[in-house]
Amino acid sequence: MIYTEEMRASQSRVEATRNLRLSEELPRFTAEEKDVLLKQFHPDYHEEGFTRLSVGPNKGDQVPSELAVLLQGKSRMDEADVDVDHIQFETDVLVIGGGGAGAAAAIEAARHGAKVLMATKLRLGDANTGMAEGGIQAADKEHDSPAAHYLDAMGGGHYKNIPELLAELVLRGPEAIQWLSSLGVLFDKDSDGAMVTTHGGGTSYKRMHACGDYTGAEIMRVLRDEVRNAGVDVIEYSPAVELLLDGDGQAAGAVLYDFDTQEYHVVRAKSVILAAGGAGRLHYQGFPTSNHYGSTADGLVMAYRAGIPLLYAGAIQYHPTGAAYPPQIYGALVTEKVRSLDAMLVNKNGDAFLHPLETRDVVAAAIIRECQERNNGVYALHGQAVWLDTPMVDLIHGEGTMEKRLPAMIHMYEKFGIDIRKQPILVYPTLHYQNGGICIGAKSETKIPGLYAAGEDVGGIHGKNRLMGNSLLDIIVFGRIAGTEAAAYSKTA
Ligand code: MEZ
């Protein structure tokens, strides 16, 4: 394998990040270099496919056209069919969304004495949480610190992160890991019982805590059980379609649409938590996605329609390594953990063209550049793609590492007769994460009294580009804050 000059520069940047002292500037690209790379090659920066909003609190902002249609469109509720005075369910706290953020919120609200109702679009646990593979970040190791975690996330997020939100995230990281462990999440440990941690893109320390390569699935398994244990009522296959406000403009519940009966249900609640997830299934600009089928920006749309501004709604994350082959798993996540274990990205000439643990936006942009501008990709299903050298993991870390650290990935490919321990795989960026979303404060509150938000439908925590493992952390941290605050609010309402 040949290292290109760009790869060497990239390598020293990543190495410098890891030797960073807190007082120093992050050795990322210069603003100019980054601008050139992103403007030319990152899909976010294609003017085409974006629309300027003409109505609502974000009037004038550019957002993906598929999202603009929903934000500015008609209500999904047919008003003639809904009598908002005919109340089917009453509760203290209504949680909208059945993923990790919604579950953490519901558990915490119930623990604080509130009667909690959770409405989910699909089944409880059908969410992007369960599809996150590689790990959850928290600075709870010797030498590491929340301050280093903060700097990494700020640098990765183009310094656009909201400082109060990011501070809350990193400071509560260690507690989040303890909370999950206490509920029964089985994190990987070494023979001395210490947590095994790895690097992710843009991290200065190894702070990725994982459960093999099915971290999100393990977390969701435990949260799902705990929601039931906490006595939360769950209504499945019933997405919320519109928020309800009372005469004073306070949150008062929501209207659900029951997929089974095809009827609307009115829920009255003293406080409401929006945790309705991301938007990958809108397939912006025709991109494939790593997201689950329910990810259609529901939280963003409901909040926007209620007059809440969105932050960075045009900032979308393309995970650099989606499966480009075989067709059955086109766009599925190939976890960043493969690159954390030193697998390289290689073009058709055998060149390693970028350090694989640069931040996600930079790696995705470089892959797109290799394939689209330089014609250095390998022909795959829907155009060119690059190699991810998976056998290298066993080569560097010893045979058996793949089985131990990446069992789900081996299994996913085995179904199609591909042994990733022996052959590299083809990858291309896939639509992965909604970086932007609902504006909240550090108590997960929105500008509407009694309305809280958490999880992927929120914007600002990660700025314009999230680092790996920080969303599994944010759903726990802000889910729990939202649950606690909404329960307290419901007692005053
Ligand atoms: O945080 C993520 O998006 C994540 C853990 C993804 C992955 O590559 O595994």
- Residue 45: the pLDDT is 52
Share of residues in the chain with pLDDT > 90 (%): 81
Centroid of ligand 1 to alpha carbon of 387 (angstroms): 19
**pLDDT value at position 79?**
79
Q: Is the pLDDT of residue 459 over 50?
A: yes
The fraction of the chain above a pLDDT of 70, given in percent, is: 94
User: What does the pLDDT read at residue 23?
Assistant: 46
Please, how many CA atoms are within 13 Å of residue 48, restricted to the half-sphere of its CB?
Answer: 3
User: Which of 42-46, 198-202, 389-393 is the least confident region?
Assistant: 42-46
Atom number in ligand 1 closest to CA 468: 1
- Answer whether residue 27 shows pLDDT above 50: no
55 contact partners, CB below 8 Å, separation of at least 6: 72
- Using the atom order of ligand 1, give the atom closest to the CA of residue 472: 1
- pLDDT at residue 471 greater than cutoff 80: yes
What's the chain's average pLDDT?
92
Whether residue 369 is predicted with pLDDT greater than 90 in this model: the reply is no
pLDDT for 336 beyond 80: yes
Q: How far is residue 103's CA from residue 43's CA, in Å, rounded to a whole number?
A: 33
Asked whether the predicted pLDDT for residue 461 surpasses 70, the reply is yes
Please name which of 169, 106, 174, 217 lies closest in space to residue 477, comparing C-alpha atoms: 169
Determine which residue's CA is closest to atom 9 belonging to ligand 1: 134
Catalytic residue among 209, 339, 405, 466: 339
Q: Which residue has the higher pLDDT, 347 or 32?
A: 347
Question: What SS3 class is residue 3?
Answer: strand
Across 121-138, average pLDDT? 97
CA torsion sign, 220 to 225 to 230 to 236?
positive
**Residue 469 Cα: closest atom of ligand 1:** 1
Confirm or reject: Cβ of 477 under 6 Å from ligand 1.
Answer: no
Residue 268 β-bridge partners: 90, 253
Over range 51-79, report the average pLDDT. Answer: 93
474 Cβ closer than 6 Å to some ligand 1 atom = no
SS3 call for 59: coil
* Residue 37 pLDDT grade (very low, low, confident, very high; cuts 50, 70, 90): low
What pLDDT was estimated at residue 14? 77
Report the relative pairing of strands 383-388 and 345-346 from DSSP bridges: antiparallel
Tell me if residue 8 is catalytic. no
Would you say residue 46 has pLDDT above 60? Answer: no
Instruction: Quote the tokens at residue 109.
Output: 């609200």
Asked if pLDDT for residue 43 goes beyond 60, the answer is no
137, β-bridge pairs: 208
- Lowest model confidence (mean pLDDT) among 123-127, 381-385, 415-419: 381-385
Probe target for ligand 1 pocket from 468, 470, 473, 477, with the most ligand atoms within 8 Å of CB? 468
Q: How far is the CA of 134 from the centre of ligand 1 (A)?
A: 5
Which residue among 133, 136, 291 is best mutated to probe the pocket of ligand 1, counting the most ligand atoms within 8 A of its Cβ?
A: 133
Q: How far apart are CA 162 and CA 359, in angstroms?
A: 19
Active site (annotated) includes residue 319: yes
Of 106-115, 306-315, 365-374, 433-442, the least confident: 365-374
d(Cα 14, Cα 355) in Å, to the nearest integer? 7
Output the pLDDT for position 158: 86
Q: For the whole model, what pTM was predicted?
A: 0.94
What is the band of 17 on the pLDDT scale with cuts at 50, 70, 90? low
The answer to whether residues 312 and 298 touch, using CB atoms and an 8 Å cutoff, is no
Residue 134 in contact with ligand 1 by CB distance below 6 A: yes
